[in-house]
Structure 1
Amino acid sequence: MSAASGAFGVRVVDALLARRPAERVVAAVRRPDRAAHLAARGIGVRLGDYDAPDTLRTAFEGADRLLLISSPELDPERRVSQHRAAVEAARTAGVGAVVYTSFLGADTETDGAAAAHHATEDVLRAGGLPHTLLRHPFYSEAFLNPGLKAAVAAGELVDRTGARGINTASRDDLAEAAARVLTEDQHLGRAYDFTGTLWTYPQLAEALGRVTGTTVVHRARDDRSPGAQGWLEDQVRAGALERQTGDLAHVLGRPPAGLDQAVASVLRGPVA
């Protein structure tokens, strides 16, 4: 798997090691010297840099299946170039199949957050390698994070989402789904549109209250948050995160984590 030392990659490693022996898992990372924690678990660690295609070919040698975790590069053109190099390296190395972490909507959207993923899906189709597409929603952690402790302390959760639905999924659920796709045969050739359980900020306020035993009131605000948070709120207000499918539950063989479970995980128990 590529980008194995990132926040998502290490979770996939955990999920894979629950299903396969360590000697059958290989992690391709940009800085092997910073991946001692992976090597200590008995898995193979190889140099695999998206900007150095030769290292990718070596890193992918002998792989039956490759999890191609999308590059964190923000520039779409450079990101697609990196992904194209990785797909070509996989073909040259004789990889049997590629599993790619795409983005929800990449099948139809050609700009914005989905642009590079749409182009990469085209690269995979043109490349001829058997592949599976895992179209991720936004991570739950983009909204459900330790900052919620401040809302509990204040007894008030304030947002600007218009009480519209949010279909995020946790990294842990998405990582388990990736591990299942990598180790099960029935997913080859499929494209999955993953969504978690739909939730709203008023429901989040109620969940915070249930988990902590503290009353948390929801209040809408008019002013836009700065930066990326404001952009995310705009997406929610426009209804862009309300799509729902059963694909994640199907691959997991169980429902994705619910809101109370996610909140409890974030807060790590009751907050005084």
Structure 2
Amino acid sequence: MKIGVSGASGQLGRAVVAELVRRGAGHGVVGISRTPERLQGQAEGRHGDFDAPQSLVRAYEGLDRVLLIPSVDLRPGVRGRQMKDAIDAANNAGVKHLFLVSAAGTRQAAPPEMREAYWTAEQQLIRTAPTWTILRMNYYAEAMAQEIQMSLGTGVLTGLGEERVAYVSRDDLAAAAAGALLSEGHAGAIYNVCGPAAVTGADRARMAAELTGKPVQFAVITEALLRGGLAQANLPPEIVEAMVEIKHSFVASAFDIVSGDAERLAGRKPRALRDVLAATLT
């Protein structure tokens, strides 16, 4: 069997390729990227650009299974179009089974909402792919660790309200994706790949304080204050909008999903947020 990873040069893509190669099992591994040279020594590299659908048709030819990892392009409507084109390209190339990395809590949405990309991709996949599997990821533990690091100077972690999030580490998501790609029985399945427990804002603050020895508290602020702080950090407008949407998603419980899917697919227990924070903050 020949397995492709589309978006293979990104952090998640590289982790999935490494996991597939490590597990071996005699399958061919193909990394598809705009910069396939970055995969040298890991797997066969093929050029494929989400903004050039014809390049994807060529890149997907001869592959039995393909994992589609969305790009990091946050311009409204772009990622949804990219994923739709990539799914069409895989179908045209004759890929038998498509796997999609989506997001927890995906529901109907339209631009400029960031989640629109996942809704558009899921619907196109379900409607057109001969066989499909969806991996809905929770929020990255590493992304939250980075946010906490940047907040230690003030001693305050902020949110827009009470929140519960089952943060998942990137490596655990990669292992779950590799496990699904290498095994059977996933046709038509929608998995929630998450950490072992939902964590509140107060929980995050307590963990950060215990691990760093510094006073840290969680505070609820207004959207206006959040936007002001992000703007003062000179972040691009699309990043500001993405962060505001994510914080609202936390309050709306979009990421308050705990399942055993990560462990079942990966064959190992996922890391807790505290473990990721310990590796980052200490």
Scaled to the shorter chain, the TM-score interval is: 0.7 to 0.9
- Which string of whole-angstrom CA distances, capped at 9 and with x for unpartnered residues, describes residues 36-73 of structure 1? xx2123x1111111122221122112211101112333
Q: Does 1:255 align with 2:269?
A: yes
**CA distance change for structure 1 residues 235 and 190 in 2, over 3 Å: closer, same or farther?**
closer
Gap change, CA 1:146 and 1:231, over 3 Å in 2: closer
What letter matches 2:207 in structure 1?
A
Task: Classify the secondary structure of the residue corresponding to 1:192.
Answer: strand
Whole-angstrom CA distance in 1 between matches of 2:252 and 2:126: 31
1:242 aligns with 2:256: yes
Tell me what 1:194 maps to.
193
1:215–1:62: structure 2 CA closer, same or farther, 3 Å change rule? same
Which residue is equivalent to 1:185? 184
Alignment pair present for 1:97 and 2:111: no
The one-letter code of the counterpart of 2:116 is: A
Shift of 1:201: 2.6
Unaligned runs of 5+ in 1: none
Structure 1 residue 138 and structure 2 residue 156: aligned?
no
1:211: which partner in 2? 211
CA contact (8 A) 2:97 2:129 kept: no
Q: In the alignment, is the contact (CA less than 8 A) between 1:15 and 1:176 conserved in 2?
A: yes
Structure 1 residues 123-179: Cα deviation after superposition (integer angstroms, max 9, x where no partner): 12221421101112222233221752762x66x343234442122212111111111
Once the 2 structures are TM-superposed, how far is the Cα of residue 29 of structure 1 from its aligned partner? 0.8
Residue 94 (structure 1) shift: 2.0
SS of structure 1 residue aligned to 2:255 = coil
The reply on whether 1:4 has 2:5 as its aligned counterpart is no
Instruction: Name stretches of at least 5 consecutive residues in structure 2 with no aligned partner.
Output: 228-239
Per mean C-alpha deviation after superposition, the further-off stretch among 72-81 and 46-55 is 72-81
Amino acid at match of 2:255: L
Structure 2 CA distance for aligned equivalents of residues 236 and 91 of structure 1: 35
Q: Percent identity?
A: 32
- Contact map agreement 1:146 1:266 (CA 8 A) in 2: no
Could you give the per-residue CA deviations for residues 216-258 of structure 1, whole angstroms, max 9, x where no partner exists?
A: 3424253532334444333333444323333223323443211
User: CA 1:127 to 1:169, structure 2 compared with 1: closer, same or farther past 3 Å?
Assistant: same
8 A Cα contact 2:8 2:14, kept in partner: yes
Q: Structure 1 68/160 Cα, relative in aligned 2: closer, same or farther at 3 Å?
A: closer
Q: Distance in 2 between matches of 1:4 and 1:256?
A: 22
Equivalences for 1:112-191 in 2 at 5 Å?
A: 112-145=113-146, 147-148=148-149, 151=152, 156-191=155-190
Aligned-residue RMSD, C-alpha? 2.5
Aligned residues: 260
Residues in 1 aligned to 2:85 and 2:220: alpha-carbon distance in whole angstroms? 45
State the SS of the aligned residue for 2:217: strand
The one-letter code matched in structure 1 to 2:248 is D
Q: CA deviation at 1:74?
A: 2.7
> Following superposition, which runs of at least 4 residues in structure 1 exceed 4 angstroms of deviation?
none
2:109 paired residue number: 110
Partners of 1:104 and 1:114 within 8 A in 2:
no
The corresponding residue for 1:60 is 60
CA shift for structure 1 position 15: 1.2
- 1:120 is paired with a residue whose SS is helix
Question: What letter is aligned with 1:262?
Answer: V
**Counterpart-to-counterpart distance in 2, 1:172 and 1:94:** 29
Q: How far is the alpha carbon of 1:204 from its aligned partner? A: 2.0
Contact 1:23–1:44, Cα closer than 8 Å, also in 2: no
Counterpart Cα distance in 1 of 2:49 and 2:82: 9
Q: TM-score, normalised by structure 1?
A: 0.84
Contact 1:161/1:201, CA 8 A, preserved across alignment: no
1:18 aligns with 2:22: yes
